[in-house]
Amino acid sequence: MNTFNAGSLFRRIAVALDDSMQSSQALQTAAELAASLQVELEGIFFEDINLIHLAELPFAREIRPASMTEETVSAQRMEQELRSQAHQQQKKLELVAHEKGISCSFRIRRGQIRSELMAAVAEVDVLTLCRPARLSEKFKRGTIGFPLSTVLPMQKANTSVSVIFGSAQNEKMALMVAVQLAGRLDVEIRVLVTGDSDAEIDDLLREADTILGTQKQQVSYIHLPGKQISDLVIATASSNSRVLLVNSNNSIVAGGQLWPYLEQLSLPVLIIREQTAKTSNA
């Protein structure tokens, strides 16, 4: 199945952007996939409406770490700050797209971050996202508490692209996209199999072997025994995963478990829109 090219199905790869360091990693991952498929890269900057509401409160203050001085925060100033951040993210997007030789576009969405992200999932073919910056991080520019190793390209041996594969409808699409991305990044593929019974797991393994059997990247399988976020965190961490691929109708996304996962592990997630697979049958 190494002849599969999702570029014939996808029009654009979108990436959720904010001012966090994890967003840079998500952008690089989305750009690699867009370059592999030769489709447009779209950046979506999410303005958190909670920040605007917070800035309207009379007691809102920003502490600058360098000088330990305190400054008043106003709604007008927050609006200016968000516009500045959006402009910076757009320039970063354009630079990465130019380096990869692909076209790009940029837009802004404002609202509650989780609801806006889920709305974006329904609008684009593939959405790449990471842990959204917390409110506290927005007010502490330059002091986001993650080690630099989480945002630099991973250089350790046996890094991988992880993909959830179960019996839900159209989950083969995520598996096929994993082939495309793993080939571009030259890393292994780790298939996280989510069958509930031994018979179902055996069927899924045979199906995955049929899809992946002729492609060049090394493939390994991990049984995801339950639907607990802790199991997923352990599985992706033990695989040195650079990214997790999941179909939009998977319970991780549809059931709202994605956010706890993002909170626990700083790893880009590629959500493959379910309708894409239906389009491929047209």
Q: What's 217's domain CATH number?
A: 3.40.50.620
Give the residue from 86, 116, 143 where a domain finishes. Answer: 143
Q: In this predicted structure, what is the pLDDT of residue 261?
A: 81
Q: Find the mean pLDDT for residues 223-245.
A: 84
Domain that holds residue 51: 7-143
Residue type, position 156, single letter:
K
Residue 272: phi and psi, rounded to 5, are -90, 120
Instruction: Examine the domain organization and report whether 11 and 139 are in the same domain.
Output: yes
Burial of 92 (C-beta count, 10 Å sphere; 0-12/13-18/19+): middle
Instruction: Examine the domain organization and report whether 239 and 171 are in the same domain.
Output: yes
Instruction: Examine the domain organization and report whether 78 and 127 are in the same domain.
Output: yes
Q: In this predicted structure, what is the pLDDT of residue 73?
A: 64
Q: Is the pLDDT of residue 275 over 50?
A: yes
Domain count, the chain: 2
| Model pLDDT for residues 62-110, shown as the tens digit of each residue | 555 554 455 566 777 778 888 999 999 999 999 999 999 999 999 999 8
Task: Judge contact between 177 and 239, C-beta under 8 A.
Answer: no
Q: Is the pLDDT of residue 167 over 90?
A: no
Give the residue from 117, 143, 169 where a domain finishes. Answer: 143
Percent of residues, the chain, with pLDDT higher than 70: 75
Q: What's the rounded Cα separation, in Å, for the pair 62 and 65?
A: 9
- pTM for the model stands at 0.79
Query: E strands of the chain, at which residues?
Result: 12-17, 40-48, 61-64, 69-72, 104-111, 126-129, 160-165, 188-193, 219-223, 241-247, 269-272
Q: What's the rounded Cα separation, in Å, for the pair 23 and 41?
A: 14
Query: Which of these, 217, 169, 228, 213, lies nearest to 190 by C-alpha position?
Result: 217
Instruction: Examine the domain organization and report whether 64 and 180 are in the same domain.
Output: no
Residue 119 belongs to a domain: yes
Q: Is the pLDDT of residue 143 over 50?
A: no
Q: In this predicted structure, what is the pLDDT of residue 59?
A: 52
Place of tokens 């179960």: 166
In the structure, what pLDDT confidence band is assigned to residue 39 with cuts at 50, 70 and 90?
very high
Q: In this predicted structure, what is the pLDDT of residue 1?
A: 42
DSSP code for 154: P
Write the secondary structure of 91-136 as one string of H (helix), E (strand) and C (coil): HHHHHHHHHHCCCEEEEEEEECHHHHHHHHHCCCCEEEECCCCCHH
Q: Is the pLDDT of residue 212 over 80?
A: yes
Q: In this predicted structure, what is the pLDDT of residue 146?
A: 29
Q: Is the pLDDT of residue 45 over 90?
A: yes
Q: Of 63-72, 82-91, 112-121, 257-266, where does the model show the most confidence? A: 82-91
Rg of the chain in Å (alpha carbons) = 19
Tokens of 88: 């910076």
